[in-house]
């Protein structure tokens, strides 16, 4: 396959009937995003997607940290497939990039080394009495939103443009490494021209920022942050990206990986506290959104219902640019109107005259 032809590469994405595999990180740090995804798929698009409370972690974090052995990981993933089989679903929609990469890696391993599949089947049967059929289609949930981007545009109540000027919002898109860097064929556009997020941004009227470190890792890694002493390496990667994108004055970052969204968001807080560095053009941090949140805003969903108050970097500047009507007083009220607590003041969210947008020299 010629390098340039990857630009046109489209992976196969099933249209309907998905078994939903949730993400450990997102359920903790962006809990509203997965709910928003289900709402978009079911309410807006009328798709059949099964949210199964029985499925577990894929073990990806433990596997990539050399804590969980490959055979254990294969048995756990085989159990997820068995649950999908039992529920009558042939397609799997994976919320997490790490899980998506892991499922893809395991299917490739089983394809190349059939004895490993036989061993996984045996281990699963001995442990749980379950059997499975290999899924026909595995897609990341961002693939599904990309797949339906035109229908979402038809239902949109707003576009990704500045409500005051009509100018497209400048959006940095960040793709998780395990989306297509392991197996290029698993991602739209392969590993070199991933179009999954850029396609959504362009379809909904935004402008994609192309900057030098666009394909650099966010620094999430696994061992890079699990050990506290190693986190300096993780945050250095995020800083490299933030420094590279800052001159283009992006309005927001959108990511399709749980770890990327989490670290690009939370490291901005740590960098502001450690070094007094902020990277947004207004002197504050750059808001980091998940693609579901971006799609939800386009569809007119309430930002607090989507859990956007859970972000470390305040999202209000983006909401105001988009002309989203929101109730500031309701930001920290839960669904029943119960106060959920507000975070303390953070340098990344406090604009003052002497804290200006600066690029480290």
Partner 1 sequence: MGAINFGYTVSAARAIDLDRNDLGPARQIAAEMPEFAACIACGGCTATCTAGALTNFNFRMVQTLVRRGEYAGAWREMNKCMLCGKCRLVCPRGINTRGVVRLIKRKLGDY
Interaction of residue 232 with partner 1, rule CB under 8 A: yes
Question: Assign residue 276 a region: left if phi > 0, alpha if psi is -120 to 50, beta otherwise?
Answer: left
Report d(CA 47, CA 170) in Å as an integer. Answer: 31
Cβ proximity of 332 and 340 under 8 Å: yes
Sole binder of partner 1 in the list 1, 229, 329, 342 (CB under 8 A):
229
Q: Specify the residue, 271 or 306, whose C-beta has the smaller distance to partner 1.
A: 271
Report d(CA 97, CA 180) in Å as an integer. Answer: 9
- Mind giving me the DSSP string for 273-284? HHH----STTSS
- 255 three-class SS: strand
Q: Specify the residue, 4 or 228, whose C-beta has the smaller distance to partner 1.
A: 228
Per-residue contact string for residues 321-360; x = within reach of partner 1 by CB under 8 A: --------------------------x-------------
- According to DSSP, residue 109 is labeled H
Sole binder of partner 1 in the list 239, 241, 266, 321 (CB under 8 A):
239
Cβ proximity of 308 and 297 under 8 Å: no
Report d(CA 24, CA 225) in Å as an integer. Answer: 16
Q: Specify the residue, 80 or 277, whose C-beta has the smaller distance to partner 1.
A: 277
Instruction: Kindly identify the residues of this chain, within the stretch 108-167, that bind partner 1 according to CB under 8 A.
Output: none
We find the least distance from the C-beta atom of residue 240 to partner 1, in angstroms, to be 7
Interaction of residue 284 with partner 1, rule CB under 8 A: no
Q: Could you tell me how many residues of this chain bind partner 1 (CB under 8 A)?
A: 18
Q: Specify the residue, 167 or 213, whose C-beta has the smaller distance to partner 1.
A: 213
From 60-68, 98-106, 236-244, 258-266, give the range in contact with partner 1 by CB under 8 A: 236-244
We find the least distance from the C-beta atom of residue 361 to partner 1, in angstroms, to be 7
Cβ proximity of 330 and 56 under 8 Å: no
We find the least distance from the C-beta atom of residue 272 to partner 1, in angstroms, to be 8
Residue 52 makes CB contacts below 8 A (sequence gap 6+) with 19, 20, 83, 84, 87
Sole binder of partner 1 in the list 118, 134, 274, 340 (CB under 8 A):
274
Interaction of residue 4 with partner 1, rule CB under 8 A: no
Interaction of residue 231 with partner 1, rule CB under 8 A: yes
Sole binder of partner 1 in the list 125, 183, 211, 233 (CB under 8 A):
233
Q: Specify the residue, 180 or 271, whose C-beta has the smaller distance to partner 1.
A: 271
Interaction of residue 270 with partner 1, rule CB under 8 A: yes
CA 307 to chain centre: 14
Question: Assign residue 190 a region: left if phi > 0, alpha if psi is -120 to 50, beta otherwise?
Answer: left
Please state the length of the chain. 361
For 254, phi and psi rounded to 5 degrees? -125, 135
Specify the residue for token string 């894929």. 58
From 97-105, 156-164, 245-253, 266-274, give the range in contact with partner 1 by CB under 8 A: 266-274
Q: Which chain residues interact with partner 1 by CB under 8 A?
A: 228-233, 235-236, 239-240, 270-271, 273-276, 347, 361
């Amino acid at each position: 396959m010629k390098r340039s032809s990857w630009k046109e590469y489209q992976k196969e994405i099933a249209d309907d009937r998905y078994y939903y595999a949730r993400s450990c990180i997102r359920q903790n740090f962006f809990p509203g995003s997965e709910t928003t995804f289900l709402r978009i798929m079911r309410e807006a698009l009328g798709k059949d997607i099964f949210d199964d409370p029985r499925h577990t972690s894929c073990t990806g974090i433990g596997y990539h940290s050399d804590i969980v052995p490959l055979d254990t990981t294969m048995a756990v993933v085989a159990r997820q497939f068995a649950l999908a089989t039992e529920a009558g679903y042939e397609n799997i929609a994976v919320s997490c990039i790490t899980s998506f990469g892991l499922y893809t890696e395991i299917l490739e391993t089983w394809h190349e080394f059939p004895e490993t599949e036989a061993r996984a089947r045996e281990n699963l049967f001995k442990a749980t009495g379950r059997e499975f059929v290999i899924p026909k289609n595995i897609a990341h949930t961002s693939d599904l939103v990309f797949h339906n981007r035109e229908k979402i545009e038809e239902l949109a109540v707003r576009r990704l443009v500045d409500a005051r000027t009509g100018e497209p919002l400048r959006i940095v898109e960040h793709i998780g490494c395990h989306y297509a860097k392991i197996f290029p064929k698993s991602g739209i556009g392969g590993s070199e021209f991933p179009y999954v997020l850029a396609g959504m941004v362009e379809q909904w009227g935004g402008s994609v920022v192309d900057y030098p470190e666009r394909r650099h890792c966010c620094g999430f890694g696994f061992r890079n942050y699990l050990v506290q002493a190693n986190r300096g390496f993780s945050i250095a990667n995020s800083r490299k990206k933030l420094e590279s994108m800052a001159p283009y004055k992006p309005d927001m970052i959108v990511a399709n990986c749980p770890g990327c969204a989490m670290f690009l968001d939370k490291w901005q807080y740590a960098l502001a506290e450690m070094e007094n560095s902020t990277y947004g053009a207004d002197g504050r941090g750059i808001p980091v959104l998940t693609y579901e949140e971006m799609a939800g805003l386009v569809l007119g969903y309430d930002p607090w219902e989507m859990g956007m108050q859970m972000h470390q970097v305040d999202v209000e500047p983006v909401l105001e640019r988009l002309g989203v009507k929101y109730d500031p007083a309701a930001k920290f009220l839960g669904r029943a109107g119960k106060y959920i607590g507000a975070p303390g003041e953070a340098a990344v969210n406090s604009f003052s005259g002497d804290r200006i947008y600066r690029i480290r020299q």
